[in-house]
């Protein structure tokens, strides 16, 4: 058998030999159109306003098949499996792109279809692997291309308006060559794709009975500063997660990144105040700001973002002097009737990941503290975005996502909210898993509180309706199912789905500077960058030994890394959708995952 690298090189050469030049599209007479995707009815909470203006411009994203994604997935799991001979041998940017490149026939057919509608190559924006192509078109042209009718839809609760359709069609011969086109049937609320930030006063509304941990705290936890029970600082996290005293040795090789959306701006003056108080040796340091899709980062005090400041202050403060990157991705404004320039009409994770996949060098660990109900993103589109995350993971990037702040639903404080209803036409009560933390190629982080740590009531957790349970977590989740009644919440969730979160970290009362003032804020928005920072420190230990960074974490965490995590066995359940939610128990559970990090133990296991 050929060695992997030689075999992959052979595959690349063959695929390049069969590549179709972008200008070589053949002419086809596309006649028979067939419905590609349709909704039975508009999602709950949306009403029809009227027809979309024909000259309103949208940016269509066309997803072509990824011919060898199964092979990419296999490579990803092999290089992430601590017991595999290829562990840590991550793929290069070029190797990943070749594996997800569309079949030549798909390129040819889609090129011909676009050419038939008058598009020239210079008007097409292609991904490096050519598995995505974007085109800016007025509504009237999009309607011709997709044999559909776009309308303006209004969200009853917020008043936001979107231009969408409930179905679209493609020539029948193109159905096997185009997996998805958006924006079409995606009714995600642009402004509602909120940060998972959680304010401390919300805890006063919770009527959840406290349940103490079932295991006694050890001597190290007993020595944690008592103030950490009411306010989390950098010092508290060092004490809780056993990172204090670690001296980094490979900072020039290491890296960490934070994503930002929805006009969340990271303020340098606030960071300096934070450093002066909590990390004085970092006072004169900074981080790189990278803009995506027109993102901004103004520095006026009144424009400082709670979420952005929380993320950068704790992620970069815990890992100083590791080089930090903050991406600011342009927002997605609601429909404006007088707007003819293209709006950022797609779900923004795709914009960010498209940009990052084009970069030769990417930070080794990246934290994202944003999410939305899985069902608001059409499954075909969510899968393509998740596949893009798999591409980054295969390149050796640890992608860390907050599990959400809605418990098992989308709002623990109001069980009657319609967001706990399915939007598939059935309108039945259902737990609402959070995307993109449900993607099986990322690491999901739930929330804890207190010292010793217990689960926090708002921590998002449950099971995906889109992705089946991956093999790496099968054993742990089967053990958890043995601890609950077989009919618990029957039909409210998918017991065969990908379970989340994978791990957890502190999620309440982080002391953050915003606009020159210190605020106690939290949520799994805080848990994600805190856990990501510990991963960055583990990467430093590996890099110092000449090893590769950890990359995709889940296989190694579920295989043996769990022994380096603090199992959270008590605390608040995570209620939602009219239920009390799930409990934290011994082993994995759908509120704190496998537990919180112990850096010293993890370093021993993983480096």
Instruction: Tell which residue, 342, 55, 33, has the closest CA to residue 183.
Output: 342
Judge whether 22 counts as a catalytic residue: no
Given a cut of 60, whether residue 340 has pLDDT beyond it is no
**Alpha helix stretches (DSSP H) within 232-376:** 234-240, 268-278, 306-319, 348-357
Domains and CATH numbers, the chain: 200-336+365-372+397-414+443-606 (3.40.50.200)
Q: How many other C-beta atoms can be found within 10 angstroms of the C-beta atom of residue 298?
A: 11
Catalytic residue among 97, 98, 311, 465: 311
pTM of the model: 0.90
Question: Across the chain, what does the average pLDDT equal?
Answer: 86
H helices present in 288-337, as ranges: 306-319
Single out the catalytic residue among 134, 459, 525, 584: 525
pLDDT at residue 20, rounded to an integer: 36
Rounded to the nearest 10 degrees, how much is the dihedral formed by the CA atoms of 221, 225, 230, 232? -90
pLDDT score recorded for residue 591: 96
Q: CA-to-CA distance for 180 and 36, rounded, in angstroms?
A: 8
Out of 73, 307, 343, 347, which one is annotated catalytic?
307
| Residue 414 assigned to a binding site | no
Q: Which residue did the predictor score with more confidence, 427 or 394?
A: 394
Tens of pLDDT, residue by residue over 353-368, are: 989 999 999 999 999 9
d(CA 199, CA 519): 10
Whether 252 is catalytic is no
Residue 143 CA, chain-centre distance (Å), reads 31
pLDDT tens across 193-226, in order? 345 566 665 444 443 333 444 444 466 777 889 9
50, 57, 162, 333, 340 from 337: Cα distances, Å: 11, 11, 10, 12, 8
User: Can you say how many angstroms the Cα of residue 54 is from the centroid of all Cα atoms in its chain?
Assistant: 34
Is the previous residue joined to 501 through a cis bond, with omega within 30 degrees of 0?
A: yes
Per-residue pLDDT band for 535 (boundaries 50, 70, 90) equals very high
> What is the pLDDT, as a whole number, of residue 211?
44
Asked whether the predicted pLDDT for residue 190 surpasses 50, the reply is no
Q: Is 428 annotated as a binding residue?
A: no
Distance CA 595, CA 453 (A): 10
Per-residue confidence (pLDDT) for residue 202, from 0 to 100: 47
Residue 354 among known ligand-binding residues: no
- Averaged over 484-502, what is the pLDDT? 94
Q: Please give the pLDDT value at position 2.
A: 41
Q: Is 567 annotated as a binding residue?
A: yes
Residue 601 reports pLDDT greater than 90:
yes
Instruction: Report percent pLDDT > 90 for the chain.
Output: 65
Residue 530 predicted with pLDDT over 60: yes
Average pLDDT score over residue span 291-308:
87
Q: For residue 328, list its beta bridge partners.
A: 260, 291
Per-residue pLDDT reduced to its tens digit, 126-169: 998 999 999 999 999 999 999 999 999 988 877 878 889 999 99
Q: Give pLDDT, residue 130.
A: 93
Statement: residue 421 has pLDDT above 60: yes
Active site annotation includes 491: no
**Which of 27-41, 153-167, 248-262 is predicted with the least confidence, judged by mean pLDDT?**
27-41
The pLDDT of residue 96 is above 80: yes
Reply yes or no on whether the pLDDT at 93 is more than 90: yes
């Amino acid at each position: 058998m050929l060695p992997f690298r030689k075999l992959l090189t052979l595959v690349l050469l063959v695929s390049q030999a069969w590549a179709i030049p972008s200008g070589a599209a053949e002419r086809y007479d596309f006649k028979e159109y067939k419905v590609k995707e349709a909704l039975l009815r508009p999602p709950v909470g949306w009403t029809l306003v009227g027809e979309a203006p024909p000259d309103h411009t949208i940016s269509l994203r066309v997803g072509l098949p990824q011919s060898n994604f199964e092979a990419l997935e296999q490579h990803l799991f092999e290089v992430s499996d601590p017991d595999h001979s290829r562990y840590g041998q991550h793929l290069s940017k070029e190797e990943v792109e070749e594996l997800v490149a569309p079949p030549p026939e798909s390129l040819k057919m889609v090129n011909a279809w676009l050419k038939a509608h008058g598009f020239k190559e210079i008007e097409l924006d292609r991904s490096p692997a050519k598995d995505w192509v974007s085109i800016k078109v007025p509504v009237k042209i999009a309607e011709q291309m997709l044999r559909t009718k776009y309308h303006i839809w209004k969200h009853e609760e917020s008043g936001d308006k979107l231009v969408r359709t409930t179905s679209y069609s493609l020539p029948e011969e193109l159905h096997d060559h185009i997996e998805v086109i958006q924006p079409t049937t995606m009714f995600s609320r642009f402004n509602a794709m909120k940060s998972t930030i959680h304010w401390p006063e919300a805890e006063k509304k919770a009527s959840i009975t406290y349940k103490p941990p079932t295991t006694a705290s050890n001597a190290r936890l007993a020595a944690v500063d008592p103030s950490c029970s009411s306010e989390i600082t950098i010092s508290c996290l060092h004490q809780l997660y056993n990172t204090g005293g670690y001296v980094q040795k490979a900072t020039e090789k290491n890296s960490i990144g934070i994503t930002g959306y929805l006009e969340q701006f990271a303020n340098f003056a606030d960071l300096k105040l934070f450093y002066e108080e909590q990390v004085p040796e970092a006072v004169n340091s900074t981080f790189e700001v990278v803009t995506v899709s027109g993102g901004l980062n103004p520095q006026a005090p009144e424009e400082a973002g709670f979420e952005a400041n929380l993320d950068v202050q704790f992620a970069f403060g815990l890992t100083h002097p590791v080089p930090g990157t903050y991406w600011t991705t342009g927002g997605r404004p609601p429909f404006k009737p007088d707007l003819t320039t293209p709006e950022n009409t797609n779900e923004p994770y795709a914009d960010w990941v498209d940009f990052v996949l084009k970069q030769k060098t990417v930070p080794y660990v990246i934290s994202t503290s944003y999410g939305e109900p899985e069902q608001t993103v059409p499954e075909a589109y969510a899968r393509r975005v998740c596949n893009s995350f798999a591409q980054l993971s295969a390149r050796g990037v640890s992608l860390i996502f907050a599990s959400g702040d809605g418990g098992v639903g989308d709002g623990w404080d109001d069980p009657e909210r319609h967001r706990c209803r399915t939007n598939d036409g059935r309108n039945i009560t259902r737990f609402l898993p959070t995307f993109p933390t449900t993607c099986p190629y990322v690491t999901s982080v739930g929330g804890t509180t207190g010292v010793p740590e217990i689960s926090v009531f708002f921590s998002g957790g449950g099971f995906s309706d889109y992705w089946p349970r991956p093999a790496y977590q099968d054993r742990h989740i089967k053990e958890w199912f043995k601890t609950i009644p077989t009919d618990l919440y029957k039909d409210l969730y998918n017991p065969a789905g990908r379970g989340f979160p994978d791990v957890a970290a502190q999620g309440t009362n982080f002391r953050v500077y915003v606009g020159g003032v210190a605020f106690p804020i939290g949520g799994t928005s805080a848990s994600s960058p805190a856990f990501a920072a510990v991963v960055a420190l583990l990467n430093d230990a590996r890099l110092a030994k000449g090893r590769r960074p950890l990359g995709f974490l889940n296989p190694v965490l579920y295989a043996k890394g769990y022994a380096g995590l603090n199992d959270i066995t008590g605390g608040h359940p995570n209620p939602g959708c009219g239920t009390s939610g799930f409990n934290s128990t011994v082993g994995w559970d759908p509120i704190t995952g496998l537990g919180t990090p112990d850096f010293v133990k993890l370093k021993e296991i993983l480096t």
